[in-house]
Amino acid sequence: MLVDALAAERFRLLKDRGTVFWGVLFAPIAGLVLTIGGELFARRLMKGAPPIPVDLVGRMVKALAGGASPVMGLFVLILSAAVLAGDYRWETWRLLTPRNGRVNLLLAKLATAAIAVAVSLVLYALAAALGGLFSAATSGGAFVAYRGEALTDLAGTFAISWLQLVVLVALAALVGVATRSTMGALIVGLVFAAAQSMVATWMHEPSLKALLLPAFSGDLLKTALLQDRSVVDEPLPWAKALAFLLAWAVGLSAAALALFQRQDLTRE
């Protein structure tokens, strides 16, 4: 039954071209356009300067490490609000619930949104690599090898940023169910994403209060992954940071499921 619900949600999302464009494709496309524009602008300012070497893997790692920014979060929230709260807007829940269990229906929506976020992140990294190829092709810059464990850093930054964005997906699910509104899920999620990112920049020590913020925990995990191990004074509490991130994602999802099971959907 869950497989059927997941297939149905995937089909519905693919038919919703507006949500696919803004929630999945826009950020990678905009990133590529800005990268190419920045390359051309910088080249005009530095005429005669020697070409800059291009590290394709480094560009992809950098893109993935910044993939959970509030700007990226905005487009994830657009996607999440449409997938998770769209049936309240169109009053179609009463048509869906007789065909499948409520837990399966909401889990399918959460999984669909999470998969779409993963696809968007992969495209975002590929767009960064395409920007590097454009730079090398037009400036004559040489390709250089990545200084680090390429597969580990790519997979690690992807997983951490994806988990940070899944927290926003789960929050959108909870707020969408509680408010029965796509706009409520979008606004609350955006305020949360912006506020926690600002507060996280003010905190420097990995205290318990700091680790409670998904943005701080995610940044700490990326720092632990990417920094030079030889310059670390003491090991970072990456296990606690990962536990807090997982707790946010699982806790918000569980709360959304619990509330949805008890909700009266006779009007939706």
Q: CA-CA distances (angstroms) from residue 162 to 38, 81, 222, 225?
A: 26, 17, 12, 15
Quick one: 114 exposed, middle or buried, by C-beta within 10 A (0-12, 13-18, 19+)?
buried
Q: What is the mean pLDDT of residues 91-107?
A: 92
Window from 10-24, 128-142, 175-189, 224-238 with minimum mean pLDDT: 224-238
pLDDT at 51: 81
Domain boundaries in the chain?
Answer: 2-261
Better pLDDT: 30 or 42: 30
CA distance 179 to 14: 25
Phi first, then psi: give them for residue 76, nearest 5 degrees: -65, -40
Q: For residue 26, what are the CA distances in angstroms to 13, 17, 121, 157? A: 15, 12, 11, 21
Task: Compute the mean pLDDT over every residue in the chain, rounded to the nearest whole number.
Answer: 93
CA pair distance 69, 65, nearest whole angstrom: 9
Amino acid identity at 45: L
Residues contacting 174, CB < 8 A, separation 6+: 252, 253, 255, 256, 259
Instruction: Please report which confidence band the pLDDT of residue 52 belongs to, taking 50, 70 and 90 as the band edges.
Output: confident
Q: Is the pLDDT score of 181 beyond 90?
A: yes
pTM above 0.85, yes or no: yes
Is the CA virtual torsion 260, 74, 114, 236 positive or negative?
negative
Q: State the Cα–Cα distance between residues 124 and 15, nearest whole angstrom.
A: 22
Does residue 232 surpass a pLDDT of 70? no
Task: Please report the pLDDT score of residue 123 as a whole number.
Answer: 98
Round to whole Å and give the CA distance between 240 and 246: 10
* The pLDDT of residue 63 is above 60: yes
Q: What is the reported pLDDT for 41?
A: 87
pLDDT at 169: 98
- Return the pLDDT at 229: 56
pLDDT for residue 25: 98
pLDDT value of residue 72: 96
Give me Rg for the CA atoms of the chain.
20
